[in-house]
């Protein structure tokens, strides 16, 4: 009988915008992350207090986003690659050069022009099985050329929603979006 891999649960968070849009991380988010093995934050923390609070729940890896201030940018990298559960996970905020980004920024994730974004991310984070990003404040789980792209959405309410995601790595890759009632 084949042995089943232990499932690794990873909390995926982005665009918390604390304290600009929210005074602190909301309790429903903190409760929803309880019990995860790892947390990945895809940028736009705004305050380093966000990292301290997430670290109280689980080891946390974060990257800086386009609106993060100098003290966040000095501590974090623009991108990270994590090997876990036999998979490679790339983490990057998702903002791109203006000349590239202007071609798809207002479009739906399924728009043909969005392939430019997916290709840019694959080039920047090669050989990843999963790529986690933020920036657009809209949740997404999409398979593109064999890679699972995940945007957990924004914790700071945006487009009428506040979301994060749980990534489960085991025999398969599963992602569950979680709506926050703020």
Which pLDDT band holds residue 3 (cuts at 50, 70, 90)? low
Quick one: pLDDT at residue 60?
98
**How is the chain split into domains, by residue range?**
8-179
Contact 151, 133 (CB under 8 A): yes
Give this prediction's pTM. Answer: 0.94
pLDDT of 75 higher than 70 = yes
Tens of pLDDT along 88-144?
999 999 999 888 888 888 888 888 889 999 999 999 999 999 999 999 999 999 999
Tens of pLDDT along 11-34?
999 999 999 999 999 999 999 999
pLDDT of 1 higher than 60 = no
Average pLDDT, the chain: 94
Buried b / exposed e along 14-44 (16+ C-beta atoms within 10 A): bbbbbeebbeebbebbeebbeebbbbbbbbb
CATH number at 8-179: 3.60.21.10
pLDDT of 2 higher than 80 = no
């Amino acid at each position: 009988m084949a042995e089943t891999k232990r499932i690794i649960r990873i909390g995926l968070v982005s665009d918390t915008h604390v304290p600009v849009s929210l005074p602190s991380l909301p309790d429903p988010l903190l409760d929803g992350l309880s019990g995860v093995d790892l947390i990945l934050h895809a940028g736009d923390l705004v305050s380093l207090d966000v990292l301290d609070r997430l670290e109280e729940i689980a080891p946390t890896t974060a990257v800086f986003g386009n609106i993060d201030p100098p003290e966040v940018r000095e501590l974090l990298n623009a991108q990270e690659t994590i090997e876990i559960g036999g998979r490679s996970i790339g983490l990057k905020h998702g903002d791109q050069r203006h000349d590239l980004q202007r071609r798809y920024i207002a479009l739906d994730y399924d728009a043909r022009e969005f392939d430019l974004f997916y290709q840019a991310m694959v080039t920047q984070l090669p050989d990843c099985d999963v790529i986690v990003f933020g920036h657009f404040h809209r949740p997404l789980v999409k398979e593109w050329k064999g890679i699972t792209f995940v945007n957990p959405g924004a914790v700071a309410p945006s487009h009428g929603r506040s979301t994060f995601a749980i990534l489960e790595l085991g025999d398969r890759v599963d992602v569950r979006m979680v709506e926050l009632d703020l």
